[in-house]
Homo-oligomer: A and B are copies of this chain.
Amino acid sequence: MFTKLSEVKVLRDPIHGYVHIDLQVIWELLNTKEFQRLRRIRQLGGAFAVYHTAMHTRFEHSLGVYEIVRRMVVEIEDLNRSLTEYEKVCVMVAGLLHDVGHFPYSHAFESIVNCNHEEFTQRILLEDTQIHSILMQHHPSLAKDVCDIINHSHPNNILTQIISSQLDADRMDYLLRDSYFTGTKYGQFDLERLLRTIRVKQEQLVIKESGMHTVEDYIMARYHMYWQVYLHPVARSFEVMLQCFFARLKDVYLHQPEVLKGITMFDVFLQEGTISVEDHFLFDEHACNYGIMCLRKVSDPILADLAKALLDRKLFGYVDASKETMAYYKKCLEEAGYDSRYYLRYDQASKKPYQPYIGSDIYILVNKQIQELSQTSNIVSAIVKAEVKKESLLFGPKELLQGF
């Protein structure tokens, strides 16, 4: 049904050895301007401020997710047998395109500016884009079905699980990839063995009992990556500083628009009105960072100061947060002449290694029955009962808040 390439194309990848492409539709999607744009959106937010080599992009990650999905539907016997060719293509495309709607610094950006990358992923699939056009050429319902998989609304639950669940191709790729590119070892787990132990049972992806320790290891890998990389205080410092920056940018736009004269890349996101997929396409990390560079020189001292701090990595310091400290530091800041709306942020991070019964449990196949992971694993059972680790920090100017 779907055209094969005359020769399998392989892209070298440090995580997977090679990414293998044998379908015309995948190759064409790769070469769209919307997918190529992902080369200009980095995978991690502020983590590069801690791990200086973390410059990898959503492009690489998207290829990696595709490759894991491809291997799953080929190598996992239960999937290879039960999925139709069309379903296989749908889920591989979903893996490839699931992040296509991202903005630069999505997390901070979306918290201030009113937009949403999931919505844009969907719109890029369905509106007038190169991606949409290619999907339509290859199959009339492909765009819709891929959309449904990404949105968790596809009738075949297995397809959704492959892309988005507690043990999906997305997480598998990013743990290994973020680990490699940060140079940490915490995210390593045994992908080969995991893939070998996946089965399908009762329309669920499940893990053979002999793979349980591999899953435990995967869960701990994920947990450690959260605390050592994604939620590292310095990474969060960069993120909250970005939030302060975007908040000030918005306020300046509303109240002193003349300050921003000649700096236009943010306009469409700051003004009222809809944002087109073309607007989305044009706003990549280079646009955003060049904007920040231009803002170094504007007359608003707060905006200029935050712009410089972001580019020159003069990040906020931090202290453990409590009601008292918050009030205390607010006062300190104001006495020192800072506007605390843009120079003080409370940020709470918390993370459980694994949480059962929230709709995407991990299941283990024990004597042909499926059990939720924490029923089978002593370790996971214990961890589920553990108090959630929380870290509440207050971020602000380093000369006032020590911490580094």
Known contacts A184-B12, A311-B33, A386-B378: A52-B59 contact under CB 8 Å: yes
CB distance from A185 to the nearest CB of B (A): 5
Is A192 engaged at the interface, CB distance under 8 Å to the other chain?
Answer: yes
A184 / chain B contacts, CB cutoff of 8 Å: 12, 190
Task: Please determine whether A379 and B385 come into contact, CB atoms closer than 8 angstroms.
Answer: no
Nearest residue, chain B, Cβ from A31: B313
A286 partner, pick from B50, B51, B290, B387, beta carbons under 8 A: B290
Is A36 engaged at the interface, CB distance under 8 Å to the other chain?
Answer: yes
CB distance from A251 to the nearest CB of B (A): 24
- C-alpha spacing A53/B223, complex, angstroms: 25
Among A31, A57, A186, A284, chain B packs the most CB atoms within 10 A around the CB of: A186
- C-alpha spacing A180/B105, complex, angstroms: 26
Oligomeric state, in copies: 4
Is A18 engaged at the interface, CB distance under 8 Å to the other chain?
Answer: yes
Task: Please determine whether A378 and B388 come into contact, CB atoms closer than 8 angstroms.
Answer: yes
- C-alpha spacing A382/B354, complex, angstroms: 13
How many residues belonging to A are interface residues under a CB distance threshold of 8 Å? 73
> Which of A142-150, A213-221, A321-329 forms part of the interface with chain B?
A213-221
A55 partner, pick from B11, B13, B57, B262, beta carbons under 8 A: B57
Is A265 engaged at the interface, CB distance under 8 Å to the other chain?
Answer: yes
CB distance from A75 to the nearest CB of B (A): 10
CB distance from A27 to the nearest CB of B (A): 12
A76 / chain B contacts, CB cutoff of 8 Å: none
Is A121 engaged at the interface, CB distance under 8 Å to the other chain?
Answer: no
Q: Which residues of A contact B (CB under 8 A)?
A: 10-15, 17-18, 31-33, 36-37, 39-40, 42, 48, 50-53, 55-57, 59-60, 63, 180-186, 188-190, 192, 196, 213, 216-217, 220, 223-224, 227-228, 262, 265, 282, 284-287, 289-290, 293, 308, 311-314, 353, 378-379, 381-383, 385-389
For the A-B complex with A39-B55, A379-B386 known, give 15 more contacts whose Cβ atoms are closer than 8 Å: A10-B196, A11-B52, A14-B180, A17-B192, A33-B308, A42-B55, A185-B190, A188-B188, A213-B227, A213-B228, A223-B379, A265-B290, A282-B293, A286-B286, A382-B387
